[in-house]
Chains A and B, each alone.
Chain A
Amino acid sequence: SQTIHQWPATLVQPVGSPLSLECTVEGTSNPNLYWYRQAAGRGLQLLFYSVGIGQISSEVPQNLSASRPQDRQFILSSKKLLLSDSGFYLCAWSSQRGAWETQYFGPGTRLLVL
């Protein structure tokens, strides 16, 4: 079966510091991968998605970036964090075969920028 991992689970960072969040998927190959952000008590905002290694689409212009160095690895980065970057970051995957639209979420990373 497929599993999706995210780390770290929680992170407290000062404003202006860099960020690196990692997401990995097991049990499937060539998945679609997604990064979402959820502000406290709010909905899900799609940040980036990727249909393959090195292929990244950005949905919202911001100080964040994403990379996909391996088939089942998706990384969210920032060079300088802002206060507004605080939130719950969720990685998700979907299959490129069969029911490709269904997305499954990782456990999330809770980021607090102070």
Chain B
Amino acid sequence: GENVEQHPSTLSVQEGDSAVIKCTYSDSASNYFPWYKQELGKRPQLIIDIRSNVGEKKDQRIAVTLNKTAKHFSLHITETQPEDSAVYFCAATLANNLFFGTGTRLTVIP
């Protein structure tokens, strides 16, 4: 199956700074990479996704980049706000299933 690694496990940034979370995957057949945000006690919510035929995708303050050759993808959050504080999960899809990273706990310090 697919093996997804995610770094860092925790990340603290000052409000207004940028945050970057990085993931790698093992199976080159994976072709879809979503990112989920999970607030404390809540369900994971899809925030952005990217397919393997695209190198970068942006949605307001959130962007995702994908390097298929190196098999890694990253989440970039600019101008962070306290409400961005949450756990973020990356994932890669293979054969009908999503394989999740272990999560990054982002804390935005006001």
Contact = CB atoms under 8 A, between A and B. Distances in A.
Interface centre among B98, B99, B103 (most CB of A within 10 A): B98
Nearest to B34: A102
Interface residues of B, number: 19
Contacts of A34: 97
Interface stretch (A12-20, A43-51, A67-75, A78-86): A43-51
A67 to B, nearest CB: 19
Contacts of A46: 97-99
A101 B45 contact: no
Q: Chain B's interface: helix, strand, loop or mixed, by majority?
A: strand
Contact of A43 (B43, B97, B101): B101
A108 B89 CA distance: 17
A90 B43 contact: yes
A103 interface: yes
Contacts of B36: 105
Contact of B43 (A51, A59, A100, A105): A105
Contact of B98 (A42, A101, A107): A101
A52 to B, nearest CB: 12
Interface in B14-59: 32, 34, 36, 42-46, 49
A103 B35 CA distance: 11
Interface of A: 32, 34, 42-44, 46, 49, 51, 59, 90, 100-108
